[in-house]
């Protein structure tokens, strides 16, 4: 969704480790949470994603992080991004 719409980012396990001040509690709410609590959590999520970085920068940094891991077959962040684009929308670059 981040790559396709560019509005917010994905705070997965990799990004939550990068943003040391972010905890799972900051991003989750229970199914029984009050409406106002849900809105506060959603607003917080958006603030975390935007922060001082654009969503494209967040995406590029995440792709570079994944490419740098030794347990995968990607040689660059571009390859990670390309792989996701092909998997999600079937477009080959």
The pTM of this model reads 0.69
Summarize pLDDT for 45-81 with one digit per residue, the tens.
888 777 756 778 888 888 999 998 877 789 999 999 9
24 or 6, which is more confident: 24
Confidence of residue 4 (pLDDT cuts 50, 70, 90): low
Q: What are all long-range contacts of 5-12, with beta carbons under 8 Å and residues at least 24 apart?
A: 6/55, 6/56, 6/59, 7/55, 8/45, 8/46, 8/49, 8/50, 8/55, 9/49, 9/55, 9/58, 9/59, 9/62, 10/62, 11/45, 11/48, 11/49, 12/62
| Domain residue ranges of the chain, discontinuous segments joined by + | 2-89
């Amino acid at each position: 969704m981040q790559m396709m719409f560019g509005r917010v980012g994905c705070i997965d396990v990799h990004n939550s480790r990068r943003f040391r001040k972010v905890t799972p509690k900051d991003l989750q709410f229970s199914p029984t949470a009050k409406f106002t609590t849900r809105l506060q959590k959603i607003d917080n999520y958006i603030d975390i994603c935007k922060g001082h970085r654009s969503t494209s920068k967040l995406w590029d940094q995440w792709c570079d992080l994944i490419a740098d891991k030794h347990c995968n077959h990607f040689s660059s962040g571009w390859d990670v991004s390309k792989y996701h684009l092909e998997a999600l929308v079937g477009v080959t670059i």
